Amino acid sequence: MWWQYLIAAVVVVLAIWGFVSIVRLQTHRLSDKTDNTAEDVYDRYADTLAKQRKYAAEHGGEWKNE
């Protein structure tokens, strides 16, 4: 019967260790430094020129390519 307590304690310790490891990994990934700027990644996430013009027209603005 004592071995069940030992197994339960090992499972609890492993669960805590796993949780801490995952949190540490995510914290590290989210706080990594990067050299990317908004201008560097804009082309990957920007709408097409036609969509930008349409959006500007729908919202009373004027699309400018500077």
pLDDT tens-digit series, residues 17-65: 999 999 999 988 888 888 888 888 777 777 788 888 888 888 887 766 6
Helices (H) and strands (E) in the chain, counts: 3, 0
**Ordered alpha helix ranges (H), the chain:** 2-30, 38-45, 49-58
Going from N- to C-terminal start, the domains of the chain cover 1-31
φ/ψ (deg, to 5) at 60: 75, 15
- At 5-28, the pLDDT tens digits run 999 999 999 999 999 999 999 988
pTM over cut 0.85: no
Residue type, 40: D
